[in-house]
A and B are shown apart, each in its own frame.
Chain A
């Protein structure tokens, strides 16, 4: 790999300059001629029938240009899968959560739009609401969606067989239940959308997204216009973290208002709307029953998970599966059974989030620590006994080609001094380890692949087109780095056109961690194809075989005789004079099992590569306040190959912050009768600079045989394992295995107190016995 000029280097990101100068444009920064302000009226009730909507007063207000209600939508429904299409963009019959969309307004200015919202009169009939998933599941009569008995939206069942037999054989069995509340993304950029119909009746849309092609298709369906007439435009994006992956009702409402008024319309969410009406993580209750042999090897596991799915489904099948999948990728199990239930409640909509299933994942690792404790082995040993190995098949039959899970464990253990510290730290000082695995891609049918086009301009510079979107993680830089490397150009010679549905081909989007593996791969192949064309022409001029050539620093040269060279610009011009094109395309489609389906057939090759990560965390707990001080986090991940260590480290560090520090200590939602009572940054506590510990980053490379340069997913395995590492460390510090996440001071104090009471009772009992 050493002959690369850019790949593998700490190249600073190409998009940073515009961002540090305040020049990068985000959706809310856009101003188009004649643009109107859009606002959405939302349901104040958690569950209510909509009897009548009177918009006449709002429409009469001077400055109001349009009002839309469910009547204008022709009843179109949204959901990622045909069987999860349960959400209307504007509700017609019922509102199902506090915040559900009931009408939209476009006006000259914000004040008028807000006044118009107040003037829309909605007559509701309140219905009994259900906020607890277990209660919802127990009810036959109170249904949130008529056609879903017991409010069960999704049931995923996975069974490898032999579970009972293996429990029989087990030396030790434990069954424990773990709980976790909902968490939110709190993207820095509140959601915003600008829409307009242009002079050719094409719908143009700007909005933060994790896949522009995932936005264009549903808009084309709902407006019944061809796909080529929906143009999702490139714009800077202030974070996604698993969200923003699909259409948002606001996109549709904004476009509808634009259509009705013939003007551009902009909707900018308040912070509260961004929390309530985009998506949130799922609250979950998970029971793991695990049977091990004498050495601590898992023979059988049965996991049952109940997820609070909120009012609508959409990505429900994925959400119900991913916590289990991450576990089955990370750990070997002789046999396993999973029952995941996603249950409708009258709470806001839920989706995928960066640490999807923190309660599930932390439960698996906490229970492993409990088992290790019982067997008298340490947490590292039990993980190494069960860790995934290269060449394995997962329980649901995915082949794992590259895997350096053990190396991540060994390196993190060494760097953190785990072995020296384990069991030897002073009271209320603890250390914990988490290990996890994340998929590089989901099965996505026709949208699973990515294609790229490259054209050379006559000045020897190149335009690269790719559907890949950058939410902040550095995807644009990744594409430029690959293209420049393969074409022998400098990064500044590449003009990237991306994340624009008019000019770029379909792409899976960034939310399944596949941008480098698939989108980057496509650019690499396109660039190789383009280079091949240039080499053919250059070979004639240099009178050598094309195979003898290489490209670097804007030159094509003979590998064994670098003095013999020709500028790329000249080759481009010679090609054009000789009627030879200097464009190329390339595409990459991961070989996954197309028959695999989340609910109906959850077996077969899930994706081509998996990443593996270990995080070790050291903490101190204040036994008086329950506050946790995190001293150090050591994060090691098998990323396949590090295309850019500078960017990778940033992903690791961000993952420790969101997955560990925030995810395990402070981030969760509180509720009162279905109303989220901490939707703003003032009451929802995200980590600050002063909270964060020192982070040690360890990049482990396994060179994936399919990934571009051997690269695969990077960062997410840290977010997941950080949550587990944090929970293990706090449990270790207080000497109680905690089962409710996040680990807030009240829970920590209660656990300490309970332990002390137990000890006191024991001492008294011992004394009485002694007497």
Chain B
């Protein structure tokens, strides 16, 4: 197979990479660009740990060809924070104890971030549905759901909401 050169726009920066046409976006991110925040847990589109954004929409990088992503704005977990400053969602995950082993966390954050951009005040059912494609084996999801719900709307009666408005 012939290698080809493409440009990927990731986290606001262009990256030139030489790839095989059948390379997945996940492999290119992890192996060629050292963006190892996106994880591979199942490799077949089930677990959501490889979730990244393409033009603001969550996609599974393990099922996406790098070539398909050429014209899109790609965002990975590494692009969520503004330098050292975490996003509200990231901070909320920390404050609410939503991170245990952390392997599902990047994918969870990307799915949740996409949801909050579309619907800043989702109810619990909406959150659970939006995260139904992301598998977590550690947390039982309760604290993740809470972290997402409270990220945009800190609750006075929540002892873990640090940044109350």
Contacts and interface: CB of A to CB of B under 8 A. Distances in A.
A652 B140 CA distance: 8
A20 B42 contact: no
A31 B30 CA distance: 10
A16 interface: yes
A190 interface: yes
A682 interface: yes
A188 B95 contact: no
B86 interface: yes
A50 interface: no
B102 A653 contact: no
Given A188-B104, A238-B102, A646-B160, A29 B30 contact: yes
Interface in B91-127: 93-97, 99-106, 109, 127
A186 interface: yes
A689 interface: yes
Interface stretch (B2-10, B53-61, B64-72, B128-136): B128-136
A236 interface: yes
A26 B39 contact: yes
Nearest to A470: B101
Interface in B124-152: 127-129, 131-145
A654 B140 CA distance: 4
Nearest to B101: A472
Interface stretch (A7-15, A277-285, A495-503): A7-15
B80 A16 contact: no
A689 B134 contact: yes
A689 B132 contact: yes
A699 to B, nearest CB: 13
Interface string B36-66: 1111111110110100000000000000000
Interface in A698-716: none
Given A271-B41, A647-B97, A689-B128, A21 B77 contact: yes
A650 B42 CA distance: 24
A243 to B, nearest CB: 11
Main secondary structure of the interface of B (DSSP, over half): loop
Contact of A22 (B47, B76, B137, B143): B76
B138 A239 contact: yes
A221 interface: no
A22 B38 contact: yes
B78 interface: yes
Contacts of B133: 688
Contacts of A656: 140
Contacts of B80: 20-22
Interface string A646-686: 11011011111110010000000000000000001110001
Given A25-B36, A689-B132, A472 B141 contact: no
Nearest to A688: B132
Interface in B7-43: 30, 34-43
B8 to A, nearest CB: 17
A650 B143 contact: yes
Contact of A21 (B90, B134, B159): B90
A647 B139 CA distance: 10
A187 B47 CA distance: 11
B78 A471 contact: no
B42 A271 contact: yes
Contacts of A188: 39, 41, 47, 49, 101, 103-104, 135-138
B86 A17 contact: yes
Nearest to B136: A188
B34 A31 contact: yes
Contact of A190 (B41, B99, B101): B41
A681 B42 contact: yes
Contacts of A238: 39, 41, 101-103
Contact of B109 (A20, A649, A653): A20
A23 B37 contact: yes
A241 B34 CA distance: 29
A472 B42 CA distance: 19
A624 interface: no
A653 B139 contact: yes
Contacts of A577: none
A19 B105 contact: yes
A524 B35 CA distance: 38
B48 to A, nearest CB: 10
A314 to B, nearest CB: 23
A611 B101 CA distance: 23
A53 B137 CA distance: 39
Nearest to A474: B100
Contacts of B144: 689
Contact of A271 (B43, B96, B134): B43
Given A654-B137, A681-B41, 20 more contacts: A17-B86, A20-B99, A21-B86, A25-B36, A26-B103, A28-B36, A29-B36, A187-B137, A188-B49, A188-B103, A188-B135, A190-B41, A653-B141, A654-B138, A657-B140, A682-B46, A686-B135, A688-B132, A689-B136, A690-B128
Closest 3 CB pairs of A and B: A22-B37, A472-B101, A19-B102
26 contacts: A12-B94, A17-B86, A19-B99, A20-B90, A21-B37, A21-B86, A22-B106, A26-B103, A29-B30, A185-B137, A187-B103, A188-B49, A188-B104, A190-B40, A238-B103, A472-B100, A472-B101, A472-B138, A654-B137, A654-B139, A656-B140, A681-B42, A681-B44, A682-B46, A690-B132, A692-B128
